[in-house]
Structure 1
Amino acid sequence: MKNFVVTGVALLAATGAAWAQGPVSGAVLDARTGVALPNATVLLDGVAVAASTDGSFTLPAVAAGVHELRVTFVGYEPLVQRLEGQTSPQQLRLTLQPGGVLTGEALVTASRANERTATAYTNLSKEDLAKRNFGQDIPYLLDQTPSVVVNSDAGNGVGYTGIRVRGTGIEGINVTVNGVPLNDAESHGAFFVNLPDLASSTSSLQVQRGVGTSQNGSAAFGASINMSTLESRQQAYAESQNSYGSFNTWKNNVQFGTGLINGRFTVDGRLSRISSDGYMVRGASDLKSYYLAAGYQQKNTLLKFITFSGREKTYQAWNGVPEPALTRNAAGLQQYVDNYELSPEDAERALREGRRYAYYTYDNQTDNYQQNHYQLHLTQGLGRNWNMAAAAHLTRGFGYYESFRANRKLADYNLPDVVLGTAPNTTVIKRTDLVDRKWLDNYFFGGIFALNYQPTEGKVQATLGGGWNRFLNDHYGEVIWARYASTGNIRHRSYFNDATKTDYNAYARAIWQAAEKLSVYADVQVRRINYELGGIEDKQVPVSAKANYTFFNPKGGLTWQLSDYQTLYASYAVAHREPVRSDFTDRPLYDAGPKAEQLHDLEGGYRLNRTVNNQVLRAEVNGFYMRYRNQLVNTGQLNDVGTPLRTNAPRSYRAGVELTGAYQPLTWLSLSSTLTLSRNRILDYRAVTYDKDYNPVIASEGRTTTISYSPSAVSAHTVEVMPVKGLRAALLYKTVSRQYLDNTESANKAIAAYQVLDLRLRYTVQPRFMRELELGLLVNNLLNREYVANGYTYGYPDATGQQLTFNYYYPQATCNFLASVGVKF
């Protein structure tokens, strides 16, 4: 393999000079005054390059053919023009007319990081997302970004997927779409399975690591994912992307847009369907979604209505695979049988199905959920230096998961015992087989705003923003069938509880150019949360919680411009986060009750972005120290719907360094790498075990231990070549070090380190009868590795008091492929 790669690169080097192209550079200026527009956005075919503080920019190499050059700046009309690649260097002078609005993205821009916010971040354009988008979920499109680890319940990236950044799961990652919070207000989870193929409608995405800038919604304790769908395309278009691959995986979508009608109106839309049988046995998904946006714009105003929706039906694969099934260890599985973790029939099936084993066999053991989003955005220019953006939003979610339950107590479903026969010859039946549904029925609504001051001249840029949001959620259960129904009818209501959460915040942010090379960043947020929960949970357990929180979250940083291509930065930020629903309802017996978390995040780094003789070099070194108080860490256990259980760790920290680099020595060859090395520790941790009577036993002495699900090393590497015009081939290599399933740092409860190599091919041509035809191929896990990317653990004593451990894992697919055909008109 090594010799093959080296030989291939040598052959490509011999042909590369035949089609290498020259650079394009220039400046972005105010059309009236000729004043440079600092940090304007320059896009070549949708790929963004930020102009420097003097308005200059460089595109290192522009391939032959006609391209679209687009330039935007807040408060100015966008500039779009054709650019043709030439062998000789080109120098451009681009002038923008004042008075325009940046295509409605003022609200998104208000919460995004840039080169002067002293924050670690990664920007992905629409084209960056499209490279990887063969139908897998959004976390898989972010797999090559720094400090990211992803996993899939079904094993192939379709259906329920997970993402962690710096060891923090999705409940600690703030996700917004057009500035509107996407995280569930109660669980803090962002379930991308509910919005399949949203990436196809996303025009840009930013991942901020650490606390980042102030956002709407839940606090960022590991990262923020900020998506925008607000781009308006000036020309009419019609597109379709279609994929097919292993495990009968299909993706089909149709996208369209009217372009700008009469200089005022735009309509854009998408219909998508994704389905897969999944790598896991009975790991199927059937996903459907739509996206529709209608906009009106005039000189200083943009009004845009957006609605998007997803409906998912997935077979429940969240139970994972017993550890002995991975190695087909019959003796090990017998322990699971002896302790009632598995039936003999399940153990036999686990041996037969091996690492693809799925626990459930009921044919409709499915999760069914629909989520409808409605957003109304207004962006208004307020003179030369000011603009305002506001949005009203409503999210409607409803759905259930259906399960077959064997030999369950009637009393647990609010049903009396069944009495058969007549006295004195009666039989009392206390248990029954049944099928139930657990429902969620919720509304999330509110408004957000941002007022931006961005002068073309002056030393200060500032934003004042905030939002008010309310979440109403009903949880209830229904029995739709029972072998012995007692007094119940179809859809018998077995339990009900509801929750109300109100969240409002305000923030102010400013960037001050204190000196020619020094900029100062300051950001402060105040956030208030009111949460109430009450009613009866399943198994007829009463639940009640009432909590109020007020958080003050200051942030600040310095950026020093060493030269035109070198920058130093440092920042300090404070964040607080409230507990989630399961922290109240499913806390361990030894836990007195959940506490709010606090994070102090210190970051600093160096950035290099240089082009010399058509060679592009970008590098960043970012160090971080994240100190927590009462961090809610995973115990390694799950509740009955697959939600991780957590407990407060009084003192803990994450410290590390993120190294990223990209090098384009030739126009046909690009290399990129990212490596994160970290130390993730809980201080004075006291492990919990159980005695023979199942009473918790807390260790009397604490010790320093590794935080669960926190690898010490994560890396991603990409080599991409273009051997002939239109063909791009890339190898993507991912490594993740060992992760522990709980906080005991036990090698017997761990996810082994793994390495995965993927191959991606994209071939694009422009035939006469359409704008573009693209053929693609993605081969995942090219080397056919058997690995797991997630898991959970729990234990209890046997009759003699000996502690037993039961580990479950989520195996990922061996070598598999996805092939695609895309057309654009």
Structure 2
Amino acid sequence: MKLINKSILTAVITLSTASVYYAQQTQDTVQAKSKDIDEVILRGVTDIAKDRKTPVAASTIKAAQLAERLGNQELPEILNTTPSVYATKSGGGFGDGGLTIRGFETRNIAVMVNGMPVNDMEGGAVYFSNWTGLADVTSTLQVQRGLGSSKLAIASVGGTVNFLTRSADMKKGGVIRLGVGNDDYLKTSFSYNTGKSKDGVSASFLMSRQAGGTYIENTNYESYAYFFALGYEINKKHNLQFTVTSAPQWHDQRTFAPTIQNYIRYNPNNDGTPYRKYNSDFGYYTDASGNRVALANRSNYYAKPVMMLNWDWTMSEKSKLSTVLYMSNGRGGGTGELGKVGGNGITNFTDASGHFNYDAIFAANAAVNLNTAGAGSTLVRRSNINSHNWYGILANFQHKINDNWNFSVGTDDRYYYGYHYQVLTDLYGGAGYKDNANKNIATPRIVNALYDYKKLNWNPFGGKMAPAEDQIGYSNDGEVLWYSGFAQVEYTKDKLSAFLQGSVSNQGYQRIDNYVVDGSITPKGQTVNTKTGFKNIFGYNIKGGANYNINEQHNVFANLGFYSKQPFLNSVYPSNQQFINPYLTNEKISSAEIGYGFRSAKFTANVNVYRTQWKDRWLRKTSQTFQLADGSTTTGYSEINGITEVHQGVEFDGVYKPNRFIEVQGMFSWGDYYYKGNASVASFDDNNNPVTLANASGNTLYLDKVKVGGSSNNSIPQMTASLGLTIKPVKDLNIFGTWRYVGKLYSTIDAGTFTNVSAQEKGVLKLPDFNLFDVGFSYKIRLQNEAQYFTIGANVYNLFDKIYISDSATSIFGTDQIKDTKDPDNGKTWEQAGRMYNGIATGNRAYFGFGTTWAATLSFNF
């Protein structure tokens, strides 16, 4: 489930009055004085790159652009005109989109708020469905590609995404905003800042609600956000700020990528084209009044309240200490089916429209006698709970040695405890669910307590966990202890600026399985206990770089770094078991980059060349369908050891302003991402049983020279481009349009496919290139009071309703044989059977991008 990193994401929604203020000044000031400690290359813990000083590739987006162009898109989509960035809506549910930078997915991108990392401490994932308020309180969004400038020991393999939010001492005023859009999208928000009083007290708060549906069938959602910051400037040396924020939400999903042939088969128009809105993760039942009612099988819900206290201490003109204490208690989970009825899973109850026939499921469940039936003999909807408590401290001390040298040292320490178990959310017409998963209980038990996933949790202290008697399926906890220290030295003189930084960290992992009996023996003869004990893993990174300003127009920079990265918790304890991975090792990432910048009154441009190598990567690939050696199929997951990836490429971005009425923005990125050497793989069904795959040649995964695709249902492009035009014909009117191109788009690797050499020779499936066009406008209506004005705006996305595949989960080629004894074309190739769409075999599972969508906003500033 998508929950964690949600961690502090709003948490940090105002790291500190001073640090945020300084970071904003960094963006607004083109030139800086090296003698000012607040004008160092990398300031505080925010580590925002400064133009023509910090030697990293960076792109910056301001709050005005977010408000003007985001509309009802996913938050990461605002980055799609940034080189080497690919953000999609993935399955299409609210907040379910994916993000890659330089071919690396979110779990290997450091997402930060005011310099504080928020990636999930167990698996590194970041989900944006719980951060609806973030777009409203962000003043600056910066993307640093590559290892970046952050001093912390974080997973910035592909890059860093840093949200800088407003602080409590903003200028007095407020904003009321209303947004509408396709599929009943409605968003309302109200924010107000008191300004700083004579006593140094200030406050800022925001409340918002967003609801409706997305372009996809049955993806309704409801999301709220609240944010409150209270600041107190005790004196010129001491500044305190308290922040509390959360964004409770629920949303129905599409998590399974349908086959292209099902998009076509279930098109209501029956015209041979794909029905892009098709969602196979819901169905219909008939209520007491005879109405056909939609019911989702897959949904997500979460609340991630965060409280934090920041203290900034200006010790002297040369020294400064920033400290943040924070607490984050996340509660929520994701729903799906559990069990079978009459030996049939939920996909056996599909109606003629390609949706679940809940009337048939309800009837089958009602006929089951739970007193005599075996465990798992009813088909129900469960929720996988993924809650956590997270506590941390982040401190950074900065000192100016002289006019040219600065240094900083600090610590980033965290404690995390994650709770993972299942509860029931719908019995689907049955009397209960019979569960025998808890090995500490001798006989199966019938459970029928239900938990409503649409009941939002507003408790800022976290709320209650389900009692043990209501838990089913599994119940395990993850405990993480994180200690780290970092140091940095900077040099600035005349045209040269340089930095060297390093960090060390210890991550301690413990897995606690509440359903395991202490001293039990696994099928492999291993003795396991409820608690594994902590496994401590040491890691470090070191990186540095230099920038040289040749003159006022030209600059060059270079950076390089090495990162010994600790694996995630599921790598330490693979296969959901209580023993340590025998192949456990740190992942090694090395990166190098050179860049050139040009600045003039009308034209600015950047060119970067980079290469990153990632060795000893461990990957769990979920949601797979396996063809087994006995001819049957099953679903499950694979665990892959010893992956080596190479990511290299060239990037360009530029802005041309011929006059004050016209601005042209452009970018181009070309990459070459591929696997180097082969890897080892082990595959399991959904019950953690090892499986033997058809046509597999042992446990080798043949990946050498195969292009890098995503690790789940997402795809990765290796060529992107965009061209944007903004016209300002009169004061306060902006008219804009963007063309975007995506090419060299490769599907995810399918572990069940690449277990033989022939698949390696074919490589991963390349999807069709596509072009998209977006347009929009915004206009300010000013009142007599200059501080008061209305803003109206509108955006149309995918203007020409382009049909395109944004993500794919499989690599089936037209020359591959159809292997399904129930299929009349069994034994033929997809091409021979004429089952191709736009050059792609229709047996591939994929997500189509949204068709034409729109959003409009009206806001009043006062």
SS in 2 for 1:793: coil
Q: Distance in 2 between matches of 1:110 and 1:808?
A: 40
Structure 1 alignment gaps of length 5 or more: 1-38, 56-72, 77-100, 331-346, 413-417
Quote the Cα distance in structure 2 between the aligned partners of 1:645 and 1:691.
11
Residue 782 of structure 2 is aligned with which of 766, 776, 795? 766
Paired AA for residue 560 in structure 1: Y
Q: Secondary structure at the match of 1:355?
A: coil
Does the CA-based 8 Å contact 2:607-2:653 persist in structure 1? yes
Given residue 278 of structure 2, which amino acid in structure 1 is its aligned partner? Y
Residue 621, structure 1, aligned to residue 604, structure 2? no
| Secondary structure in 1 matching 2:81 | coil
1:331-346 to 2 correspondence within 5 Å? Answer: none
Given residue 208 of structure 2, which amino acid in structure 1 is its aligned partner? Answer: S
Residue 181 (structure 2) pairs with residue 245 (structure 1): yes
| Aligned residue among 650, 656, 662 for 1:663 | 656
- Superposed CA deviations along residues 651-688 of structure 1, whole A, max 9, x for unmatched, are 32111111111111101111111111111111123697
Q: Which residue of 2 aligns with 1:27?
A: none
Residue 506 (structure 2) aligns with = 528
Which amino acid in structure 2 is aligned with residue 610 of structure 1? S
Q: Would the aligned equivalents of 2:706 and 2:764 in 1 still touch at CA under 8 Å?
A: no
Aligned-partner Cα distance in 1 for 2:620–2:103: 11
User: 1:739, 1:634 → 2: CA distance?
Assistant: 22
- Structure 2 Cα separation of the partners of residues 723 and 644 of structure 1: 56
CA distance in 2 between counterparts of 1:652 and 1:738 reads 17
CA contact (8 A) 1:584 1:593 kept: no
Query: CA RMSD, aligned part only?
Result: 4.0
Change (3 A) 1:620 1:384: same
When residues 467 and 310 of structure 1 are mapped into structure 2, their CA distance, relative to the original with a 3 A threshold, is: same
Out of 158, 173, 181, the position equivalent to 2:109 is 173
The answer on 1:129 being equivalent to 2:104 is: no
Q: Is residue 284 of structure 1 aligned with residue 220 of structure 2?
A: yes
SS at 1:325 equivalent: helix
Alpha-carbon distance, 1:818 to partner: 0.3
User: Deviations for 1:86-106, whole angstroms, at most 9, x for unmatched residues?
Assistant: xxxxxxxxxxxxxxx99xx96
Q: Distance in 2 between matches of 1:742 and 1:40?
A: 41
Match of 2:136, SS? helix
Alignment correspondent of 2:743: 737
Q: In 2 relative to 1, CA 547–117 (structure 1 residues): closer, same or farther, beyond 3 Å?
A: farther
Deviations 1:567-608 (A, max 9, x none): 11111111233333454667699x975643211110111111
Q: Write out aligned runs for 1:174-323 (5 A).
A: 174-216=110-152, 218-297=154-233, 298-323=235-260
Contact map agreement 2:168 2:230 (CA 8 A) in 1? no
For 2:702 and 2:43, the matched residues in 1 are separated by 53
Residue 589 (structure 2) pairs with residue 631 (structure 1)? no
Greater fraction strand: 1
Counterpart contact for 2:263–2:274, Cα < 8 Å? no
Which residue in 2 is equivalent to 1:141? 78
User: Is residue 815 from structure 1 mapped to residue 794 from structure 2 by the alignment?
Assistant: no
Q: Which residue of 1 aligns with 2:340?
A: 407
Q: 1:396 aligns with which of 301, 325, 329?
A: 329
- In structure 2, the residue matched to 1:432 is 378
Q: 1:696 to 1:466 in 2, by over 3 A?
A: farther
User: Take 2:337 and 2:22, find their aligned partners in 1: how far apart are those partners?
Assistant: 57
In the other structure, the counterpart of 1:717 is: 723
Which of residues 549, 553, 567 is equivalent to 2:537?
Answer: 549
State, as a whole percentage, how many aligned pairs show the same letter. Answer: 19
Give, as a single letter, the amino acid of the residue that structure 2 aligns with 1:127. Answer: A
Identify the residue that residue 676 of structure 1 maps to in structure 2: 669
The aligned amino acid for 1:818 is A
- Once the two structures are superposed, what CA deviation does each residue of 1:27-76 show, in whole Å capped at 9, x if it has no partner? xxxxxxxxxxxx99886xx9724215589xxxxxxxxxxxxxxxxx7559
The answer for the alignment partner of 2:592 in structure 1 is 602
User: Which residue is 1:448 aligned to?
Assistant: 394
1:501 matched residue in structure 2: 480
Q: Which amino acid aligns with 1:720?
A: T
Shift of 1:160: 1.4
Q: Letter of the aligned partner of 1:204 in structure 2?
A: T
> Deviation at 1:135?
3.9
In structure 1, C-alpha distance between the alignment counterparts of 2:162 and 2:563, rounded to whole Å: 18
Measured in 2, the distance between the counterparts of 1:693 and 1:643 equals 15
Q: State the distance in 2 between where 1:435 and 1:109 align.
A: 43
Query: Are the equivalent residues in 2 in contact too, given 1:694–1:797 (CA < 8 A)?
Result: no
Distance 1:596 1:468 in 2: 20
TM-score normalised to structure 2 length: 0.74
Q: 1:692 Cα deviation (Å)?
A: 6.5
Distance change in 2, residues 1:632/1:746 (3 Å): farther
Aligned-partner Cα distance in 2 for 1:737–1:126: 29
1:490 to 445, 448, 473: 448
Q: Tell me the TM-score normalized by structure 1.
A: 0.78
Q: Is the 8 A contact 2:147 2:158 kept in 1?
A: yes
Say if 1:609 and 1:40 are closer, same or farther in 2 by CA, change over 3 A: farther
What secondary structure, in the 3-state scheme, does the structure 1 residue paired with 2:104 have? coil
Match of 2:807 in 1: 790
* 1:40/1:51 contact within 8 Å kept: no
Q: 725-734 or 399-408, which moves further after superposition? A: 399-408
How many Å apart are 1:348 and its aligned residue?
13
Aligned partner of 1:284: which letter? N
Map 1:142-157; keep pairs closer than 5 Å.
Answer: 142-153=79-90, 155=92
Contact 2:138 2:165 in 1 (8 A): yes
Q: Find the partner of 2:56 among 119, 140, 146.
A: 119
1:624 partner amino acid? Y
The SS at the match of 1:196 is coil
Distance 1:714 1:427, change over 3 A: closer
Given the superposition, is the C-alpha separation of residues 387 and 638 from structure 1 closer, same or farther in structure 2, using an over 3 Å criterion? farther
Residues 257-292 of structure 1: CA deviation (Å, up to 9, x unaligned):
101111501100101111231111112221111111
Distance 1:653 1:812 in 2: 28
Q: Which moved more, 1:278-287 or 1:702-711?
A: 702-711
SS at match of 1:711: strand
Inter-CA distance 555–408: structure 2 relative to 1 (3 Å threshold)? farther
Is the Cα–Cα contact under 8 Å of residues 24 and 140 in structure 2 kept in the other structure?
no
The one-letter code sitting in structure 2 at the alignment partner of 1:506 is G
CA distance in 1, matches of 2:403, 2:73: 45
Q: Is the 2:596–2:606 Cα contact (8 Å) retained in structure 1?
A: yes
Q: How does 1:646-657 map to 2 (within 5 A)?
A: 647-657=640-650
Q: Work out whether residues 392 and 412 of structure 2, in 8 Å CA contact, stay in contact via their aligned partners in 1.
A: yes
1:3 maps to: none
From 404, 416, 435, give the equivalent of 1:459.
404
| Letter paired with 1:476 | Y
The one-letter code of the counterpart of 1:819 is A
Q: Is the 8 A contact 1:433 1:484 kept in 2?
A: no
| Cα shift at 1:634 | 7.6
Contact kept in structure 2, 1:624 and 1:656, CA below 8 Å:
yes
Question: How big is each residue's C-alpha offset from its partner over 1:533-560, in whole Å with a ceiling of 9 and x where there is no partner?
Answer: 231689x999987643211211111221
Answer yes or no: is 1:468 the counterpart of 2:413. Answer: yes
1:370 Cα shift?
0.7
Structure 2 CA distance for aligned equivalents of residues 536 and 733 of structure 1? 53
On the 8 A contact 1:766/1:773 being kept in 2, the answer is yes
CA shift, 1:704, in A, is: 1.4
Query: Which string of whole-angstrom CA distances, capped at 9 and with x for unpartnered residues, describes residues 399-453 of structure 1?
Result: 122334462699x9xxxxx99699xxx8768621223222122111110011112
Partner in structure 2 of residue 6 of structure 1: none
- Measured at CA, do residues 398 and 54 of structure 1 come closer, stay the same or move farther in structure 2, by a change above 3 Å? closer
